[in-house]
Amino acid sequence: MTTTEDAKPLSSSAAAQSAFIGLAAYASLGAFSLLAHDAARSPDVATRLRLARMAAAELAEFDLAEELLRARGEDPIRMVSQYAGILDGFLKRAEPRDWWERLMRTYVGFNLLEDLVRDLCKSLPADLHEQLHGSVGVSGHADLIAELLLPEVEADPTLASRLALWGRRVVGEAISLAHRILAERPELVELLDGEDDPAARVRALVARLQANHSRRMGRLGLTS
C-alpha cells in the first residue's frame, strides 16, 4: 500500500489520479458491455433501443477519460488493461436466470461501481473532479428500472422476494469487485476519505457502498 505514516489527510499522488481515471474509463467500457448485453436480451425493441443508447453514452464517457489520460502522458489502453477481467469475474459469479435478475444485476452492480468511482472522485484536485464528476454513471438506467421493474415487483410478491434475495447475492459480489479493484491498484486507497489506516478507509468505503445500495433497494420496496 502506498500511504504515508502520518495522520494528516493525504493529498492524492499523480499515480493515484491516473489509476483513478483508468478505473473510470474501465467502468465506462464495462458499463457499455453490460448495457449492450442487456439490450440484446430485451423482451422488446423499445427497451432494446433504450439500453443500446445508454451503452453508447457510456462509450462517450470513455472518450473523455481517454483524452484526460493522454493529456497526462499515460497510455489509455495500458491504464485500462490493468483492470481487465475484473468485471468478467463479477458477471460470471452473478449469472442471472431471467430478464428481471439481469436488470437487477445491472442496477445493483453498476450503481455500486458508480458509487465507488464517485467516492474516489471526491478527493481529486478540483479541475480533475470537475472534468470527471459529471461523466460518471449509467444515465437513464434508474428511470428504466423504476418503469420496468418496480411495477412487476409491486404486483408479484414472489418475484419481489426472489429479487431481494438475488440483490443480496449481487451486492456481495459487487463489493468483492470493489475490493479486487482496490487490491489491484492500492494507490486508489489514497483517494479514500478517512483515517490513516488503509484497511479502515476501505471498511468505511464498503459501509457507504452498502448504505447506498440499501437505499436503492428500498426505493424498489425490497429489503437489502
Q: Does 92 bind a second copy (CB under 8 A)?
A: no
Q: Distance (Å, rounded) from C-alpha 101 to C-alpha 164?
A: 10
Which residue in 84, 146, 165, 207 binds a second copy (CB under 8 A)? 84
Tell me whether residue 48 or residue 208 sits nearer to a second copy (CB atom).
48
d(CA 20, CA 178): 13
- Per DSSP, helices labelled H in the chain are 14-40, 45-71, 76-81, 86-93, 99-121, 126-133, 141-155, 157-184, 198-219
CB of 59 to a second copy, least distance (A): 5
Cell 419481489 identifies what position?
A: 160
Q: Minimal distance in Å, beta carbon 21 to a second copy?
A: 14
Among 5, 6, 45, 73, binds a second copy (CB under 8 A): 45
Decide: is 36 part of the binding site for a second copy (CB under 8 A): yes
Say whether residue 161 binds a second copy (CB under 8 A). no
Out of 24, 29, 144, 177, name the contact with a second copy by CB under 8 A. Answer: 29
- Binding a second copy (rule: CB under 8 A), the pick from 46, 73, 157, 158 is 46
Nearest Cα neighbor of 34 from 121, 81, 96 is 96
Q: Which of 5, 6, 44, 127 binds a second copy (CB under 8 A)?
A: 44
CB neighbour burial string for 77-97, b if at least 16 within 10 angstroms, e if fewer: eebbeebeebbeebbeebebe
53 binds a second copy, rule: CB under 8 A: yes
Give whole-number Cα distances, 184 to 74, 169, 177, 180, 215, in Å.
18, 23, 10, 6, 28
Residues near a second copy, by CB under 8 A = 29, 32-33, 36-37, 39-40, 44-46, 48-49, 52-53, 55-56, 59-60, 62, 77, 80-81, 84
